[in-house]
Amino acid sequence: MKDTENRPILSLIYAASENDVIGKDNDIPWRLSADLKRFKQLTTGHPIIMGRKTFESLGRPLPKRRNIVISRNAAFHAEGIELYGSLEAALAACKGEAQAFIIGGAGLFAESIDKDLIDTIYFTRVHAEIDGDVSFPLPESDAWQITDVASNQADEKNEFAYTYVTLKKG
């Protein structure tokens, strides 16, 4: 049973192609300006929790958010982040926050789903088959209820059509 006292609403936020690819060479293998704006709008003002490789792919802490990095390497250091050795320690540091977001990578997504910690998933389906080296499928379970869906077409700033899906624990 998870400890919910003073625990923030914990959300996953990520995008995946039709073949569930989420990354290639430690980067996002597509350009969707609207999805980046949505990510910023949803996560600003909240802690974002990520693995070290995800942080390194960003290249810097994201502004107006607590940047929490999980790494087994206690010697890892970067300006503007909080470092924790486990997901549990990172979540303990978020007690009292209204909401926190897990933003990557696949291992952290899987761990948080497996431990039944996630309340909401903000998912973007990129409507293309993409070559990549990291994948993560949308969790399939009767426990999830789709609460919002919005389809979008490709345009000059978004190279593929995409659909936003919000799922909440039912």
Within a domain: 3? no
Q: What is the pLDDT averaged over residues 99-118?
A: 97
What is the count of structural domains for the chain? 1
Within a domain: 2? no
The pLDDT assigned to 140 comes to 84
> What is the span of the domain harbouring residue 52?
9-169
Within a domain: 93? yes
Q: What is the pLDDT averaged over residues 160-167?
A: 98
Answer yes or no: is pLDDT of 1 > 90.
Answer: no
Structure tokens at 66: 């607590």
Classify the C-alpha dihedral 126-127-131-135 as positive or negative.
positive
> What is the C-alpha separation between 164 and 167, in angstroms, rounded?
10
- Supply the CATH number for residue 26's domain: 3.40.430.10
User: What's the pLDDT tens digit per position in 9-33?
Assistant: 999 999 999 999 999 999 999 999 9
pTM of the model as a whole: 0.95
Structure tokens at 146: 């789709």
Within a domain: 1? no
Classify the C-alpha dihedral 14-157-56-95 as positive or negative.
negative
Place of tokens 């431990």: 115
The pLDDT assigned to 6 comes to 77
> What is the C-alpha separation between 66 and 93, in angstroms, rounded?
11
Within a domain: 91? yes
Within a domain: 4? no
Q: Quote the percentage of the chain above a pLDDT of 70.
A: 97
The pLDDT assigned to 5 comes to 64
The pLDDT assigned to 170 comes to 79
